[in-house]
Amino acid sequence: MEHVGLADSLAEFKDFKNIDRPTLMSILEEVFRGMLRKKYGDDEGFDIVINVDKGDLEIWRNREIVEDGAVEEPLTQVSYSEAIKIEPDFEIGEEVSEEIKLVDFGRRAVLAARQNLKAKILELEKDEVYKKYKDRVGDIVGGEVYQIWKREALILDDDGNELIIPKAEMIPSDYFKKGDNVRAAILRVEMINGNPKIVLSRTAPVFLERLFELEVPEVYDGLITIKNIVREPGERAKVAVESYDDRIDPVGACVGMKGSRIHGIVRELRNENIDVINFTNNVQLYITRALSPAKITSIKLDEEEKRASVFMKPDQVSLAIGKGGFNIRLASKLTEFEIDVYRDSDDDNEDVDLEEFADEIDSWIIDEFKAIGCDSAKSVLELSDADLVKRTDLEEETVKEVKRILSAEFE
């Protein structure tokens, strides 16, 4: 019963906790010295011997032998008559060492010390986790999905530490099951009420940047620099790259032979389309590349307002805007210019494809019109409101709003 629940757990702490031996020994000694101070008022003159691996603990009390009646400091001195009870051969002036058993402290004190030990070990573990991750923000980590909640998923790393991926930091098409292996970037590391909170992200641009470093050696080695990344997670991303070595084609290196390098990144991001473009300080050329695959006729820049008026053939407008307007939004973010697209046509009465209004009209509404054969602005405007309501599942207010948007195109 000497080591009940206390010394027997020492090896367990060493085996299962990521704590180095010197730190563990320091904590254990401090806990036991706390017991000594509580019982004797001071811990002076005591030696504590701990064998973590075996779970052994010894506490020795050292006192100087003095003549009977001459004891002035009971903590560090012992009378001769008391000393010879321990060992008959002792003489005055020598030092006597006496082992203190844990049972001498009482069961309550031992249990309290055990709780104190567990609390200190747990606190140290939390500090170690925080220190491990605080300088790794932006790095990719992997882990196993342990639990899934409505607003977040709990991931365990290789050491069993808990990591969190909030729903907002997941790609919309992410679907995790318990036991799945997941990779994500460390978004932030916080200490909340003494507990470390490591938040991961799969939507942050830095996650895509780190994936490029993993898949493209030239990026990892610094031969290719990623100048900027913008994303619509799960839909589309644009990456501007540059190389100071004229012998390296940065776009070709990032994409790889037949897309071999980019394919792995696309799969990781749930088939997110990734446009890799050459960075340039020529703003007009940069905007032209950013709006790819659309072909531009001309551009007018307003440097002060950071605005660009882009003119192109009617059949290129839908390409510039892109599905859901993602292409033009990302191009604006990438170049830091607000981009306005205009149709460059001499025929004012030319019809316009409905897809070109994707930035103003929801895609599902456009699909409703296409389902009844109306795939252009004029084909919708030629039908009455009542006819459109009858032939589609749209409400009259929606039809009128769509017509207002389409009519404005020809005014």
What is the pLDDT confidence band of residue 2, given thresholds at 50, 70 and 90? very low
Contacts of 222 (CB under 8 A, 6+ apart): none
pLDDT tens, position by position, 113-170: 778 777 877 888 888 889 889 999 999 999 999 999 999 999 999 888 999 999 999 9
Please tell me the predicted confidence (pLDDT) of residue 378: 86
* Alpha-carbon span 353 to 345, nearest angstrom: 14
Helices 314-321, 326-335: crossing angle, 10 deg rounding: 70
Mean pLDDT across the chain, nearest whole number? 86
Instruction: Work out the burial of residue 396: count CB atoms within 10 Å of its CB; fewer than 13 is exposed, 13-18 middle, 19 or more buried.
Output: exposed
Domain 7-131: top CATH class: alpha beta
Quote the Cα angle for 199-200-206, to 5°.
125
Q: Is the pLDDT of residue 365 over 50?
A: yes
pTM of model > 0.75: no
pLDDT tens, position by position, 181-227: 999 999 999 999 889 999 999 999 999 999 999 999 999 999 999 99
Beta bridge partners of 155: 145, 163
Q: Using an 8 Å Cβ cutoff, are 65 and 91 in contact? A: yes
Collect contacts of 119-122 with beta carbons under 8 A, ≥24 apart: 120/27, 120/30, 120/31, 121/13, 121/17, 121/19, 121/24, 121/27
| Residue for token pair 């101070």 | 37
Q: Is the pLDDT of residue 236 over 80?
A: yes
For residue 366, which of 399, 342, 397, 320 has the smallest C-alpha distance? 399
Contacts of 354 (CB under 8 A, 6+ apart): 361, 366, 369, 370, 374, 375, 376, 377, 380
Average pLDDT over residues 235-253: 94
What is the pLDDT confidence band of residue 333, given thresholds at 50, 70 and 90? very high
CATH node for 135-203: 2.40.50.140
Please tell me the predicted confidence (pLDDT) of residue 4: 44
pLDDT tens, position by position, 51-96: 766 666 778 888 888 888 787 877 778 888 888 888 787 888 888 8
Please tell me the predicted confidence (pLDDT) of residue 71: 79
Q: Is the pLDDT of residue 23 over 80?
A: no
Q: Is the pLDDT of residue 308 over 90?
A: yes
Please tell me the predicted confidence (pLDDT) of residue 3: 47
Please tell me the predicted confidence (pLDDT) of residue 335: 95
* Alpha-carbon span 216 to 257, nearest angstrom: 12
Please tell me the predicted confidence (pLDDT) of residue 5: 47
Q: Is the pLDDT of residue 349 over 60?
A: no
| Strands (E) located in 133-180 | 140-148, 152-156, 162-166
User: Residues of CATH 2.40.50.140 domain(s) within the chain?
Assistant: 135-203
What is the pLDDT confidence band of residue 1, given thresholds at 50, 70 and 90? very low
Q: Is the pLDDT of residue 351 over 80?
A: no
Q: Using an 8 Å Cβ cutoff, are 66 and 80 in contact? A: yes
Q: Is the pLDDT of residue 46 over 60?
A: yes
pLDDT tens, position by position, 247-303: 999 999 999 998 999 999 999 999 999 999 999 999 999 999 999 888 898 999 998
User: Residues of CATH 3.30.1480.10 domain(s) within the chain?
Assistant: 7-131
Q: Is the pLDDT of residue 12 over 70?
A: no
